[in-house]
Structure 1
Amino acid sequence: MLEIFRELRGLLRVSHVHIDSWVFRLHYSVTTTCMFAFSLIVSAKQYVGNPIDCIHSKDIPEEVLNTYCWIHSTYTIPSAFWKRIGFDVAHPGVDKTLDPEERRYHKYYQWVCFCLFFQAILFYVPRWLWKNWEAGKVSALRMDLNLGIISEVEKKLKKKLLIDYMYSNLKHHNFWAYRYFFCEFLSLINVGGQMVLLDRFFDGTFFTYGIEVMSFADRDQEDRIDPMIYVFPRMTKCTFHKFGTSGNIEKHDALCILPLNIVNEKIYIFIWFWLLIIGFLTFLVLVYRAAIIFSPYIRALVLRMRYRRVKRECIDMVIGKSYVGDWFLIYLMGQNIDSVIFKDVIHELAKKLGYRSRDIGET
């Protein structure tokens, strides 16, 4: 199984140039990798076995029946989940019925690997957009200033280039920053949209899936149905029709086992909780972004708390003379260059903006 994940390690590598938040990285790095891995697992027969195996008569070849039931889907009877196993029904959800309206057909298992692959792509789209919009700005401005050990001449020249750029382009980074904020918002929309997509995919059972699984153990024995078996049945029925020797239509009722659903039920309970967690974290980030956009005081407070070596007065001066886009670039530069060099850059930038102090060069 390690071979499956070997090709996905690249998605988990953290770039040396930080251009986004750790919550945003959870979307395009961790989640995308998990979705791709799940898609590979459910499509690998050596780990889950045959996707379907049906009990058949000698009149129907095994491969024919299995292929037919896989393509045309199988079904369960919802009312049969409440009946006694071994007395009234052979397996949960498996019962005889004459009314086709009572049947609940299961077609999703044919599309699970494709759905997971599509989900992985959707989680990477905001990252792809931001990477193209960011266009290597932070990497270009870093100029190896993350390396504390460089010659003084080179350090002085590169600091001057960075300060001159930030001073001459002050108040011109809003559109650049807002595109990143849009990508974070798009990530939240993606999580909500995927919850809706999966709920439709599983016939309206996904929204409450995690809650049902958690509450399953607390219910009385006679009142409970395993929600994982209800959503991902392990035993189903399939009806196969064929012509007999006399030309009459013969009906064959087959009992099918779905080994793939043993894996699917675990995958989607993880996905349910994971989507809930990253959706909540992303919502908190967007609330934080809103506060950052509308409050210069909070922008200054964040910089003071994050970069304690920089003088408070210098931060206040820079924030007072700049917009939120400039704050976002400054915040990213602080994460990507040496802390001492970053302190000098902010102090010099504040000086160019009008800050005066005899000890501006002090630590």
Structure 2
Amino acid sequence: MVLYDLFNGIKYAIKLDTIYIDNNVFRMHYKLTVALLIGSSLLVTSSQLFGDPISCIGANDDTQVPEQVLQTYCWIHSTFTLPGALGKQVGVEVAHPGVDTYTPNEKRQYHKYYQWVALVLFLQALGFLTPRYLWKQREAGQVARLVGQLNQPIVDNKDQQIKLLVGYLANNYRRGQHRLYFLWYVVCETLNLANVLLQMWLLNHFLGGSFTRYGWRVLEWSERDISERGPTDPMLAAFPRVTKCTFWVYGSSGDVQRHDSLCILPLNIINEKIYIFVWFWFALLASISALVMIYRLLTICFPSVRYLALKSRARLADSANVRLVVRRSDIGHWFLWHLLCKNLDGQHCARVLDAYCDSVFGVGSGTGIVANNTNDKQVVIVNEII
């Protein structure tokens, strides 16, 4: 019940849209990835599931440091492990991986990330929402206004809506005004790829350089028997469960005394799983986004690719009409057609394409929905819906 209440709000982030103004990969960025990151952030901050995020015990009880003071200090100032102790045998040489007795000039690896994991995950989600926000601001509901109710199979005043849509397309197909519209979309797609690559680089620095190969190293170790996963387990190295903390106090004589503590970080059991999933998801997302950019380059360079893309969305339309629209339209106008055909009902899409070719090129089936020359009154009506 606690988990259900915790994640109940995330379902609104991944609900399906009624009008699509982007592609599935774009939606993977601002829907699935944002839901993953926000859900992980909520999971980390849920004290009801995991209790206190840190619990420290003293190695010397004579100092009588209050437990709450010690834990607060170690949480704020971070804890550390000893890289030289990671390879030592647990139970023989050391008590826990990366934890050893104090030696002068010992090399320490401080772990400062755990205070910020929830906040960083939330900020990452905002980063994935940014390209979507920029594109939505530029798109400004244009596709939704043009489609109207034509995304449904049964529509009142269907012929009138088709006439207005065809009138707008016929009046604007030579103006080239949709080139900037298409360019802005390509910029946002590029930002998607740049964002995921930048976040992978930042996460590597955030986790002390352990994120770059984290997923691969975990896969390598997962193939081994559980008894062979020694202290150099990549999950334990990146997300230690037991660390050290040094607290300095004044003794009874006024001398400064060193107080070593062992600190248990139960949240790292969850953090290590979260970042395994994030690593593989980001790698998949970056790869697919790179392929999308290659596809986008192909659509810009080759009209045949634009034809196949538009035909896949307008399956019921006459292939000759689709080919004619692609051949006679610039890249911006084709992109608008592609978005419209993605949202229009199949039968309505075929009728719009046929009426458009009849109105603009005079080669349609002559449905009579739109005359060959759009009069001034209709141009005004069409432009008003945009």
TM-score range, shorter chain: over 0.9
SS in 1 for 2:97: coil
Counterpart in 2 of 1:197? 202
Kindly state the Cα deviation for residue 307 of structure 1 after the two structures are TM-superposed: 2.0
Give the gaps of 5 or more residues in structure 1.
none
Shift of the alpha carbon at 1:217? 3.5
Question: Partner of 1:5 in structure 2?
Answer: 7
- Alignment equivalent of 2:91, drawn from 74, 86, 90: 86
Contact persistence 1:48–1:263 (CA under 8 A): no
In the TM superposition, residue 180 of structure 1 has moved relative to its aligned partner by 1.1
Which 10-residue stretch deviates more, 347-356 or 43-52?
347-356
Q: Secondary structure at the match of 1:54?
A: strand
Listed as ranges, the matches of 1:145-160 within 5 Å are: 145-151=150-156, 154-160=157-163
Partner Cα distance (2:315, 2:280) in 1 = 36
Do residues 344 (structure 1) and 346 (structure 2) align? no
Instruction: State the Cα deviation string for residues 251-299 of structure 1 (Å, max 9, x = none).
Output: 1110111001001000000000000111111111111111111111210
Which of 310, 313, 325 lines up with 2:317 in the alignment?
A: 310
Select which of 45, 48, 54 maps to 1:43. 45
Offset of 1:352 from its aligned partner? 2.5
TM-score normalised to structure 2 length: 0.89
Quick check: 1:260 aligned with 2:293? no
Aligned to 1:30: 32
Shift of 1:351: 2.0
Residues in 2 aligned to 1:218 and 1:99: alpha-carbon distance in whole angstroms:
38
2:13 alignment partner, SS class: helix
Is the Cα–Cα contact under 8 Å of residues 291 and 298 in structure 1 kept in the other structure? yes
Q: Which amino acid aligns with 2:302?
A: S
Q: Return closer, same or farther for 1:222/1:115 CA change in 2, 3 Å cut-off.
A: closer
Aligned-pair distance for 1:26? 0.8
In 1, distance between residues paired with 2:229 and 2:220? 14
Which residue of the other structure, out of 267, 282, 286, is the alignment partner of 2:293?
286
The amino acid that maps onto 1:157 is: Q
Question: Are the aligned partners of 2:97 and 2:231 in contact in 1 as well (CA < 8 Å)?
Answer: no
State how far apart, in whole Å, the 2-side matches of 1:223 and 1:45 are: 30
How far, CA to CA, are the matches of 1:36 and 1:77 in structure 2?
32
Cα separation, 2, equivalents of 1:150 and 1:21: 26
Correspondence 1:166 to 2:169: yes
Contact 2:315-2:346 at 8 Å conserved across structures: no
How many percent of aligned residue pairs carry the same amino acid?
42
**Could you say which residue in structure 1 is the equivalent of 2:381?**
none
Q: Residue in 2 aligned with 1:134?
A: 139
Q: Distance in 2 between matches of 1:126 and 1:297?
A: 28
Asked whether the 8 Å contact 1:216–1:224 carries over to 2, the reply is no
Given the superposition, is the C-alpha separation of residues 87 and 129 from structure 1 closer, same or farther in structure 2, using an over 3 Å criterion? same
**Considering only aligned residues, what root-mean-square deviation do their CA atoms show, in Å?**
1.6
Q: Is the 8 A contact 1:79 1:93 kept in 2?
A: yes
Cα deviation, residue 308, structure 1:
2.2
1:209 and 2:214 matched: yes
Query: Aligned partner of 1:200: which letter?
Result: H
The equivalent residue for 2:249 is 242
Match of 2:69 among 61, 64, 67: 64
For residues 229 and 291 of structure 2, the distance between their equivalents in structure 1, rounded to whole angstroms, comes to 41
Once the two structures are superposed, the pairs formed by residues 326-341 of structure 1 within 5 Å of their partners are 326-341=333-348
CA drift at 1:224: 7.0
Match of 2:119, SS? helix
Q: Which runs of 5+ in 2 are unaligned?
A: 368-386
**In structure 2, C-alpha distance between the alignment counterparts of 1:13 and 1:304, rounded to whole Å:** 27
Query: Does structure 2 conserve the Cα–Cα contact (< 8 Å) formed by 1:317 and 1:355?
Result: no
The CA distance in 1 between the partners of 2:339 and 2:351, in whole Å, is 16
Counterpart of 1:252 in 2: which secondary structure? strand
Q: Secondary structure at the match of 1:254?
A: strand
Which of 99, 103, 115 is equivalent to 1:98? Answer: 103
Of residues 4-13 and 273-282 in structure 1, the stretch that sits farther from structure 2 once superposed is 4-13
CA distance in 1, matches of 2:121, 2:68: 27
**Distance in 1 between residues matched to 2:229 and 2:276, nearest whole Å:** 24
Cα displacement (A) at 1:150 = 2.5
Residue 54 of structure 1 aligns with an amino acid whose one-letter code is C
Distance in 1, matches of 2:229 and 2:311, equals: 59
Which one is further off, 268-277 or 278-287?
Answer: 278-287
1:74 has 2:79 as partner: yes
Aligned counterparts of 1:178 and 1:239: Cα–Cα separation in 2: 56
**Contact 1:8–1:33 (8 Å) recurs in 2:** yes
The question of whether the paired residues in 1 share the 8 Å contact of 2:89 and 2:231 is answered with no
2:93 is paired with a residue whose SS is: coil
